[in-house]
Structure 1
Amino acid sequence: KAVSRGRTAQDKADALLARITPTADPQDLAGCDAVIEAVFEDTALKHKVFQEIQHIVEPDALLCSNTSTLPITALAEGVERQNDFIGLHFFSPVDKMPLVEIIKGERTGEEALARAFDLVRQIKKTPIVVNDSRGFFTSRVIGHFLNEGVAMVGEGIEPASIEQAAAQAGYPAKVLSLMDELTLTLPRKIRKETRQAVEESGGTWTPHPAEAVIDRMVDEFGRTGRSGGGGFYDYGDDGRRTSLWPGLREHFTRAGSETPFETVPFKDMQERMLFSEALDTVKLLEEGVLTSVADANIGSVFGIGFPGWTGGVLQYINGYEGGLPGFVARERELAERYGERFTPPALLVEKAETGGRFGD
């Protein structure tokens, strides 16, 4: 494609392709000093892949998984050298997205971390480092953006207005169109696994209002996203997005119906998406998954499309009108209107009360 557009020469393209060796034989990995697994999000399958190659690659080879949600510590249980096991979460499309999220498991060694960091820099990507947790930083936080947009559909808000709110807030991808790209079945799978993990650890699962909308879309209407032929949007025979699915207005939108509802202000629509991501980022700092404010800001903009004008998800809090006290006050307004999920976390309240800011 680059050759056809005049962006590179044919000899350079040929040289690049010559460095790639397609194979189905694990023995072809002999001598490799770093491997990156990128199979489906299935723990057993990932264990099988690593068990096939761990004695073929170099004895000190870096063992990396490109998982976007599965805890690295659990994946490492499938290999013998857990100190060399680490998460390298790339973002799609890989050739265009600059970020790589490096995830340290409980047994990941410092040498493995340093080598992974160097590897990411060598391939001219921007690394951030986080500790292990289901969904890590990026996947967990973007899930709140998606959930909030979908929840608004369930509240009867005009879908086109939801998309416009995301666009005018500065998101590069509108929330419902992004949901279609990721598929509606993926969040259901993640939800099931996360709920099971929460309950097995003795916690209580709190359903998000978006869950009922996703379940209806998949189970009642068979709308699973772009790859399934239709989701929140309709698609043409060529797979291109055409328009929002008319069924959304029929089955969810309450405008013009006999059901009374309070009009949700446009600013609330925007800030519900922005605040939901910011709030969970603070929780990740509290939990120790994030250890760097800079990594949070960089990762949010370069990895998951948090609006660039904010300077990043935590800088958005710093720069909010009225500073941290203003942000906390607004958070409490949203919590009163839309639910306890907007209750500000203790770390945020503490910083607001002591005149603090988020900075390394």
Structure 2
Amino acid sequence: MGEFAYEKDADGIVTITMDMDGPVNAMNAQFWPLFSDTMDRIEAEKDLKGVIWTSAKDTFFAGGDLNMLKSIEPDQVEDLFNSVEATKAVMRRQEKLPVPVVAAINGAALGGGYEICLACNYRIAADNPKTKIGLPEVTLGLLPGGGGVVRLTWLLGMEAAMPFLLEGRQVSPDKALKAGLIHEVVPADRMLARAKEWILSVQGDEAAVTQPWDTKGYRIPGGPSTSPKNMTRIAGAAAMLFKKTRGLMPAPVKILDIMTEAAGKVDFDTAQRYESRKFVSLTPLATTKNMIETLFFGMNKVNGGASRPKGIPPSKVERLGILGAGMMGQGIAYSAAMAGIPVVLKDMTVEAAERGKAYTAKLLDKRVKQGRMSAEKRDAVLGLITPTDKTDDLKGCDLIIEAVFEKIDVKDAVLAEHESLLAENGIWGSNTSTLPITRLATGSARPENFVGLHFFSPVDKMPLLEIIAGEKTSDETLARAFDFARQIRKTPIIVGDSTGFYTSRTIGTKIIEAVELVAEGHDPVRVDNLSRLTGMPTGMLSLLDEVQIKLVVDIYNTQVEMGLLDPEQEQNPGARAMLAEMISQHGRHGRATGKGFYDYSEEGKTIWPGLAAWRKEDARISDEDIQDRILFRAVLESLRCLEEGVLRSVADGNVGSILGIGAPVHTGGYIQFVNTYGPERFMKRCEELAAKYGPRFAPPEILKRHVAENRAFA
């Protein structure tokens, strides 16, 4: 059985070493009795001089039991509230001890782990590069319910606490020290000794054993929430939250509410109860369950290799070649160099290759200026990139990625010129968003070593890498591509080789549905705004302008020419005709040319007046139908990808849709959305939409099967 090992030394200092069952310490059913019993024992001690909390695990404490939290139903909320309050009561007993209590943070202390630290008088972190400190609950649709919101607000003040509470920021020990989250950073082998030194140095010092919020006359840094400066700050934060969440994610709003109350007129313990109520109110919500399921469990499955072919040893890329130093190639070069991989960056001219390297220099200079990187580290990373126009410079690379124009003949030409330069058993990756990998691999001498690597723009910011398996791509190649993705700190999903793969195929459906709505005569501004209000990062018409109308039309025409799409089977003929006319008759190519669905200038953007030609006065549609048409098209396409085997797992679909193509975060991804909407209810709504707007909304067989078998997508 797991335990809290209890040891009292000759100086009267008790060290509690948390070593619970499982790989991490967590606030689960086992935690509370261990915590409570340990506090009983501490309070019964005679000649006690101090207490140290530390961990036998690699992490200090991982936080709450997310499996338990995502299972909470409305009728269980009151029981959860009582459990949370009981745990907080033990924390308060600890804070009232007449001796100093130290958190000796030997690894990551996140969420509930850091809340335990906040209930200690002094916090010492080991100088460990893997250690992160913070309260990331908001990123999973939750809020810190173990006193974290109230204590951090009282400790730092509203302004300084906001990034940690409203954004879930996690920081290294050095940054935690600078922010005031901890008191010291020491070498790992000195941590416990230093904790004991501090305890002995403050014997008899009442201030050292009194928490700030229990100190008479204590003032919250920055003043109360009722001060004019903080009232303005709260109003600004509220507006920012709505802009970011569209009102669809309640956790940050509740956190701001707790902060406002905690820094207002209520006392500390009342604020704690208020926090508990707000915390438990989140747990039964679909939003919370969705975010926990995908952003924690789904991410762990994907990054842990659930879709990686089994039985293949892990690998690392030792030398990377990149063909094309444009927007994608330069971003891949930066990501690889940041991971310590030597890169040969080739373009048609050495000047073009140098410009590609300059992109990395610009990003690194920004890091140095912000204090996030030393000049020496910048120079070392930059030194890993070798720009060239010479073909032979790529000789011996164990991975070559071509990132040239999205044209078959261009990609065929660079493959023919460079494939023989690969190291023995080296692999070839094509960065393409739509061109079939099986077709691209026909010119390869080793098609089993040919794989699709679809990066997302901008590569330095976008965390997803879509790995595409062609018909002949070997499992070993897929595993090596997966390992490369993890090596450069990307989240990889492995998909099948269909037209548009998973991400491009799915994002295209919601964009073209928005265009269809405009072609039907509906107000384009209304369509764009309502698509944003589903929780998508940007409106669909604005997004189409960003990716370029002409590019989308060119890709469609290419796929028709290649026989990949049949225009007679087109499900959105009105939208296709509209886009073709916008390009051919009006020169509306997208934002890059300043003219798309919007007109762009230095002052901003305004809707193109020419769209009035498509408006119809008798066009009538509800807001709900507009939003469901756009969202459901993407959800249905995800289900079809799962049905066809393009997606290998539900987790790949959910994670890929959020990280790569703007699925609303509160849905937990396009497939998870069906689970909490209710598969049967979702199917009925699809049938309604199909009856009104066409067979593209008809429920696929995979959905019908899940409804008939009464099971969720997992």
TM-score (norm 2): 0.47
How much does 1:57 deviate? Answer: 2.2
Q: Deviations over 1:78-113 (max 9, x none)?
A: 110111100111101111110000111111111111
In the other structure, the counterpart of 1:177 is: 542
Q: For 1:246-325, what aligned pairs fall within 5 Å after superposition?
A: 246-248=609-611, 250-254=612-616, 259-262=617-620, 264-320=621-677, 323-325=678-680
SS in 1 for 2:465: strand
Question: Are positions 1:337 and 2:692 aligned together?
Answer: yes
How much does 1:204 deviate? Answer: 4.9
Letter in 2 for 1:357: A
In the other structure, the counterpart of 2:607 is: 244
Letter in 2 for 1:276: R
Give the length in aligned residue pairs: 348
Distance across 2 between alignment mates of 1:260 and 1:56: 63
SS in 2 for 1:235: strand
Note if contact 2:452-2:469 (Cα within 8 Å) is conserved in structure 1: yes
How much does 1:199 deviate? Answer: 7.0
SS in 2 for 1:103: strand
Cα distance 1:25–1:214, how it changes in 2: closer, same or farther (>3 A)?
Answer: same
In the other structure, the counterpart of 1:206 is: 570
SS in 2 for 1:77: helix
How much does 1:130 deviate? Answer: 0.7
Greater C-alpha radius of gyration: 2
Match of 2:424 among 59, 62, 74: 59
Q: Which moved more, 1:124-133 or 1:191-200?
A: 191-200
Question: Are positions 1:21 and 2:21 aligned together?
Answer: no
How much does 1:269 deviate? Answer: 1.0
Distance across 1 between alignment mates of 2:627 and 2:554: 27
Q: Which moved more, 1:186-195 or 1:72-81?
A: 186-195
In the other structure, the counterpart of 1:327 is: 682
SS in 1 for 2:476: helix
Distance across 2 between alignment mates of 1:95 and 1:121: 14
Q: Deviations over 1:240-296 (max 9, x none)?
A: 742222222x22223xxxx4222x111111111110011111111221111201100
Q: For 1:112-151, what aligned pairs fall within 5 Å after superposition?
A: 112-151=477-516
Distance across 2 between alignment mates of 1:63 and 1:19: 20
Q: Which moved more, 1:186-195 or 1:74-83?
A: 186-195
In the other structure, the counterpart of 1:48 is: 413
Q: Which moved more, 1:20-29 or 1:184-193?
A: 184-193
How much does 1:354 deviate? Answer: 2.2
Distance across 2 between alignment mates of 1:241 and 1:86: 41
Letter in 1 for 2:470: G
Distance across 2 between alignment mates of 1:216 and 1:193: 18
In the other structure, the counterpart of 2:230 is: none
Letter in 2 for 1:138: T
Distance across 1 between alignment mates of 2:582 and 2:567: 28
Q: Deviations over 1:129-169 (max 9, x none)?
A: 11111110000000001101111111222122112111110
Distance across 1 between alignment mates of 2:641 and 2:571: 19
Cα distance 1:5–1:177, how it changes in 2: closer, same or farther (>3 A)?
Answer: farther
Note if contact 2:502-2:646 (Cα within 8 Å) is conserved in structure 1: yes
Q: For 1:60-75, what aligned pairs fall within 5 Å after superposition?
A: 60-75=425-440
Note if contact 2:429-2:452 (Cα within 8 Å) is conserved in structure 1: yes
Letter in 1 for 2:635: A
Letter in 1 for 2:600: Y
In the other structure, the counterpart of 2:599 is: 234
Distance across 2 between alignment mates of 1:57 and 1:73: 20
Q: Where does structure 2 lack aligned partners over 5 or more consecutive residues?
A: 1-365
Distance across 2 between alignment mates of 1:76 and 1:225: 32
SS in 2 for 1:35: strand
Distance across 2 between alignment mates of 1:18 and 1:101: 28
Note if contact 2:560-2:567 (Cα within 8 Å) is conserved in structure 1: no
Note if contact 1:167-1:173 (Cα within 8 Å) is conserved in structure 2: yes
Distance across 2 between alignment mates of 1:318 and 1:221: 44
Q: Which moved more, 1:2-11 or 1:134-143?
A: 2-11
Distance across 2 between alignment mates of 1:133 and 1:95: 26
Distance across 2 between alignment mates of 1:349 and 1:195: 31
Distance across 2 between alignment mates of 1:194 and 1:222: 22
SS in 2 for 1:83: helix
Q: More relative contact order in 1 or in 2 (CA 8 Å, sep 6+)? A: 1
Q: Deviations over 1:295-338 (max 9, x none)?
A: 00000000101101001110011111xx1110011001111111
Cα distance 1:199–1:131, how it changes in 2: closer, same or farther (>3 A)?
Answer: closer
In the other structure, the counterpart of 1:157 is: 522
Q: Deviations over 1:161-216 (max 9, x none)?
A: 1121111100012111110011111221222233344578x895325131022112
Letter in 1 for 2:622: P
SS in 2 for 1:100: strand
Q: Deviations over 1:59-85 (max 9, x none)?
A: 211100110001101111111011110
Letter in 1 for 2:476: E
Letter in 2 for 1:315: Q
Question: Are positions 1:346 and 2:709 aligned together?
Answer: no
Question: Are positions 1:33 and 2:33 aligned together?
Answer: no
Identity between Structure 1 and Structure 2 (%): 45
Distance across 1 between alignment mates of 2:563 and 2:419: 31
